[in-house]
Amino acid sequence: MKSLELKYGCNPNQKPAEIRSTSGELPIKVLSGKPGYINFMDALNSWQLVKELKAALNMPAAASFKHVSPAGAAIGIPLTEAEKKEYGVEGIELTPVAAAYVRARGADRLSSFGDWAAVSDVVDEATAQVLKSEVSDGVIAPGYTPEALELLRQKRGGNYNVIEIDPSYEPPAAETKTIYGIEFVQNRNNIIPGFENLKNIVTINKDLSIEAQRDMILAMLTLKYTQSNSVCYVLGGQVIGVGAGQQSRIHCTRLAGDKADIWYMKKHPKVLGFKFKEGVGKAERDNAIDLFVRKDTTEYELKTLDEVLEVVPERFTEEERDSWLDGLKNVTLGSDAFFPFRDNIDRAAKSGVRYIVQTGGSLRDDLVIDACNEYGMVMVTTGLRLFHH
């Protein structure tokens, strides 16, 4: 099969629409559902991310995509019992592949509502159980066990989108895009950032652990498939905040930092102790938790918590919030291009950032490095710009 007809393009009025192979057969099989134009954009971008993460770190990887950018990405590190409770997977015996997806979706569960999932390895029954319990549009992977495929084919009355991709497929070197009748041609960005790109430590502090290096690689590869400008915060093999598609880099840093703070606030014992009313689903729980931990929630929004919680706890005071966030430490911050001003570093410090990986090459690199030194951070400059449009 060299092409596949789609219901419509980005919007219902954009038809006819199809996907085509530029050389040979399409490297994909649709095993369930009928994926659309945006589904395939998410699928093919997210697949590249997890495939390259697996190649760089030799661990199962997963991503949760929305609108052609990752809401989260992670590698298959086991979850603690508290994390299983936080992410609502207490009853599932998680394999490394399943753990990777749970962590990827756990970065920002509100944004991952209705996501596209990508998994670097064969989807097993545990991963399928997780996917079946979440509101998700589809999944792409190099294969599925029979048990996993059977579970996924039951989801959404048989309309859940399941795509199998040939893991050996390599696209042509040149890629094209058409905008307003004009064709753009460039070589694919085939660089896979790895440990060899982390040699240039420019700060006084050069104490870069293997775990921090791993998180830097996760950050860089996530950014490679995130709409630019973009930054992301990573901790423990898991993206915890993405700022995508902003025109100003400081806005990326603030947006992603705020998401990282929210991610950490959700680990507070007051939140983990929530007692939900009978029949409240995962999506409603996620929304309630997000409303409770956010600083800007209105009194009107807070009233909705009465509908889902048996008892609504007292809101966090500023002192409680600041005290808890002081525990967010050893975070890695990645940027898809250089930091033009030190304000990015000052904001990053507020969210526990200790390690930074960025392109370098700004006229104010010395001021950015000085700021890192003031905070005792470790910063690596790679010379790799990772714009994605």
Q: Which residues are catalytic?
A: 66-67, 229, 389
Q: Which amino acid is at 119?
A: V
Sequence-ordered strand ranges (E) for the chain: 3-6, 17-20, 28-32, 61-66, 69-75, 115-119, 136-141, 161-165, 174-179, 182-187, 230-235, 238-244, 331-335, 353-358, 378-381
Taking the C-alpha atoms of residue 47 and residue 164, their distance in angstroms, rounded to an integer, is 10
Spatial CB neighbours of 262, under 8 Å, sequence gap ≥ 6? 108, 241, 290, 293, 294
The dihedral over CA atoms of 86, 90, 95, 100, expressed in degrees to the nearest 10, equals: -20
Question: In 294-331, which residue ranges form alpha helices assigned H by DSSP?
Answer: 299-303, 318-325
- Measured between alpha carbons, how far is 64 from 74 in angstroms, rounded to an integer? 9
Residue with tokens 């015996």: 93
- What are the φ/ψ torsions at residue 355 (nearest 5 degrees)? -125, 140
Taking the C-alpha atoms of residue 175 and residue 33, their distance in angstroms, rounded to an integer, is 28
